[in-house]
Amino acid sequence: MRRLAPLWLGFGGSLALAATPDATIRNFVACPIVRDTASVPCWLSEYEGELYFLTLQADVSAPVNPPWLGHKVLVEGRIKPGAARICGGVVLEPVKLSIIAEPDASCHTQLPAEERYNLTFEPPRPPGPSGGRLAFNTLPMPVKPVDVKREVKQYSLPYDFDGLINFKHPFQLTPILDLANAMKVSRVEITGYRGAALLSDGTVLPERADRARRRAEQVAELLQGAGLTAPKYAVRWIDAAPAPTGIDDHTQRRVEITLLP
Amino acid sequence: MNHRPLLAGLVALGLPALLLAAEGGYGTAGNPSEGLDPTATAVPAPKRIPRWIFPDTTGGLAAYGTYANELGQVGVLLADGAVKDAKSHPFFQALGTNGRACVTCHQPQDAMSVSLDNIRWIWRVTSGKDPLFAAVDGKNCPHLPQGEPASHSLLLNRGLIRVFLPWPPKGDDGKAIDPEFTLEIVRDPTGCNTHPEYGLGSKRPTVSVYRRPRPSANTKFTTHENFGVLPFIGKNGLPASRDPDTGRATSMNLMADARAPGLRAQAADAASGHMETRGPLTKAQLDAIVAFESQVYIAQASDRRAGSLVESDGPSGFGPQAMLKGEAGVLGNNTTRWVFPMEDKWKSLPRTGDVTQDARSAARESIQRGHDIFMFRTFWIRDSMHLNSVGLGNPTKRTCATCHGMHLTGMDTADGWMDIGTTNLPWAKEEPLNPWNKTKPEMPLFKVTCKDRVPPHPFLGRVIYTQDPGRALITGRCNDVGTIVMQQMRGLAARPPYFSNGSAQTLREVVDFYDRRYNIGYSEQEKQDLTNFLGAL
């Protein structure tokens, strides 16, 4: 394995202050709140005296999965222009949620259903059996390539803040594995990155220092563990996180995978 | 072990050990099994005389048979037809050195598992000498005096077999895994985990936990390669186990800790461990065992109050034929396929004035209501690792069918280990300690401390107390502590007690556990209906 020289200056775990550039951006760390409804529960969070709607309970296919009580959540979102409040909260969409790993017993607010907060629309999925399909078609399902072109293929795996592989990655890794096997690739290049989040109060929240390395190494371990042992692997990581802007900082948290014929 | 004198005696008593004919009549009603005092010299009498199959006995097994249990009869269907000569079939042969066969712990009358009542029966009729009670794992620990009830108390009280695993665990490549946690022994009532030869401090450090045998039936469901089976585990993204023969990913739903990727590996493991074979089984033996297990279908076939569960115009999801015909590894947590299809057939049945018939209709309606509770009664599921952590949020407002979603079995279609608290404290069943209770805890207790290099367990923190670390004994992962692969829900009436550690003696106790664990607040009627539904599966 070879380690690349840092491309940017790292934050070294310290907090810096900066300014968020967009008044509709809401990036903050707070306790999530779950509110029951006559149908599915909705997930909210408070920031500077305002209540924000994060997401509804759906299922594994949801583009935004709910956070956990007992843990704070990093919210990286944008106020949806003109959207009516949902469950009493200002709608953040798009929004990225990252559960903070360290438990926090102060995050325990579970609110009962109130008529005034019931949903005014059909949720993607009821709180029980589905109608026969997952709520969203967001999951890239595994593919069995038939006619595979032997060409360079590039992929990018997204990560939660400070996160490693989780329950969503199988749906992204499986097509990569299938294609690599079908192409009989000779080389797999993996580069891990870490990021930082610029919060709306100006705080910079860097990811753990080892994230880029662990992400890259873990992806290599997973592909090899799933049987892709023939190709040569080049595993690299870039420890330095780029300066966050508060806009789409989550895109820095990734692993890039290149399959070479 | 030679069973001829015993068998002769049984036959003389009119208790055939192996029958070809299907059984008529229903089992007797009775109270839940009483707990055993491990220091007692006597073992409680069974509720009925079983049709126990001894290893190496002559006779056969019918292509379809029904066997009485507490709640009715379980049906056992062999899709490939009757076994005409069990004595020549490896599933029924004592292949090892301790006299056991596969059938010892996988009895047709017990839905291809082994029930506590019949464990007690075989103890009584053999004075504890049946191979089931072999020292290796039919006893709390091999060093204990053989044949004394106290030495076998976990088998006699909870139906538990000792499972002994290396610590630290080894990966598929045979290399030791560096665990994410330390493991300390807090309580060792069996003496096995602290024993100098068998324990954690021995030359070959070993952890002993105690688990129920699972049914070796309906295996097309437990080994499916359908929905949710990917090269990467749906719970955490790590590589799934692969079948060494095919190289394909497996569902990892076969064993409580998912350590065996398929039937062949499980049979090989069981032969060396449970049967103490001198060497590996031959290919022919393994082929025969796997082939047999691949065509056995079980499900409750009749209910002592609701009558036949397999009438042609009845609900389609009941009975072993439904298992034979059903599609394996597909989601049933929906209103198109359903987990256990009933088609509302027993939603509202007419009353005729005939007391017997009306009672049957009432029982059937109760089963239907139990089904509806299973599918539609929401409650808040919280702090359950590998459920709340896979995209539903914590807590999530869902129903029983959310986790128990596989069509016809109620298993997880994806790799199905979760922690619902059956082995982890504070939810696991523990003996109340006080000056007035003379009963001592029977289960071991471990302290798990997640190392600083990994995040704490998201719902239990960095220190976890558990009776059985479950899947974590295989992976060494902190988040897997106390996670157990959920098992199929068929033939339940034939094989109490329940949960991997036998902590629920009855189906009602199962329902009560969930009611407590998730603060559901079932009414008494809901509890009865759900219990009746589970008993009909």
| A141 vs B505, higher pLDDT | B505
The answer to whether residues B487 and B403 touch, using CB atoms and an 8 Å cutoff, is no
pLDDT exceeds cutoff 80 at A19:
no
Nearest chain B CA: its distance from A173 CA (Å): 8
pLDDT exceeds cutoff 80 at A12:
no
Nearest chain B CA: its distance from A145 CA (Å): 15
Question: What average pLDDT does chain A have?
Answer: 91
Nearest chain A CA: its distance from B219 CA (Å): 24
pLDDT exceeds cutoff 60 at B34:
no
Long-range contacts of A7-14 (CB under 8 A, 24+ apart): A7/A238, A7/A240, A7/A242, A8/A240, A8/A241, A8/A242, A8/A243, A9/A240, A9/A243, A10/A206, A10/A209, A10/A239, A10/A240, A10/A241, A11/A196, A11/A204, A11/A206, A11/A241, A12/A206, A12/A209, A13/A206, A13/A209, A14/A206
Q: What pLDDT sits at residue A141?
A: 64
Please provide residue B348's backbone torsions phi and psi, each rounded to the nearest 5 degrees: -150, 110
Cα B185 from chain centroid?
25
The per-residue pLDDT for range A52-66, each reduced to its tens digit, is: 999 999 998 999 999
What distance, in Å, lies between the first and last C-alpha atoms of chain B? 36
Q: What pLDDT sits at residue B96?
A: 97
Residues of A in contact with B402 (CB under 8 A): 128
- Pairwise CA distance, residues A194 & A256, whole Å: 12
Q: What pLDDT sits at residue B43?
A: 74
The per-residue pLDDT for range B135-164, each reduced to its tens digit, is: 999 999 999 999 999 999 999 999 999 999
**B240–chain A Cβ distance below 8 A for any pair:** yes
In angstroms, what CA-CA distances link A56 with A44, A63, B459? 9, 11, 21
pLDDT class of B27 with cuts at 50, 70, 90:
very low
Nearest chain B CA: its distance from A61 CA (Å): 8
Residues of B in contact with A40 (CB under 8 A): 397
Instruction: Calculate what percentage of chain A has a pLDDT beyond 70.
Output: 88
Tell me the average pLDDT across B306-329: 98
Residue with tokens 């990093």: A74
Nearest residue, CB atoms, A165 vs list B238, B337, B394? B238
pLDDT class of A143 with cuts at 50, 70, 90:
low
| A159 vs A150, higher pLDDT | A159
Tell me the average pLDDT across B479-488: 97
B177, B372, B397, B479: which to substitute to probe chain A, counting the most A Cβ within 10 Å?
Answer: B397
User: How many Cβ atoms from other residues are within 10 Å of residue B200's Cβ?
Assistant: 18
pLDDT exceeds cutoff 90 at A149:
no
Nearest residue, CB atoms, B234 vs list A110, A131, A170? A170
The answer to whether residues B249 and B229 touch, using CB atoms and an 8 Å cutoff, is yes
pLDDT exceeds cutoff 90 at B299:
yes
pLDDT exceeds cutoff 80 at B251:
yes
Q: What pLDDT sits at residue A133?
A: 83
pLDDT class of B47 with cuts at 50, 70, 90:
confident
Tell me the average pLDDT across B349-357: 97
User: How many Cβ atoms from other residues are within 10 Å of residue B284's Cβ?
Assistant: 9
pTM, to two decimals? 0.92
Which amino acid does the sequence have at A141?
M
pLDDT class of B20 with cuts at 50, 70, 90:
very low
The per-residue pLDDT for range B373-394, each reduced to its tens digit, is: 999 999 999 999 999 999 999 9
The upper half-sphere exposure of residue A203, i.e. CA atoms within 13 Å in the direction of its Cβ, equals 13
pLDDT exceeds cutoff 80 at B36:
no
Please provide residue A168's backbone torsions phi and psi, each rounded to the nearest 5 degrees: -85, -25
**Is the predicted ipTM greater than 0.85, yes or no?**
yes
Nearest residue, CB atoms, A167 vs list B231, B337, B390? B390
Q: Are A101 and B249 in contact (CB < 8 Å)?
A: no
Nearest CA to A53 out of A86, A28, A24, A8 is that of A86
Alpha helices in chain A (DSSP H): 169-183, 211-225
B204-221: buried (b, 16+ CB within 10 Å) or exposed (e) per residue?
eebbbbbbbbbbbbbbbb
Q: Are A222 and B237 in contact (CB < 8 Å)?
A: yes
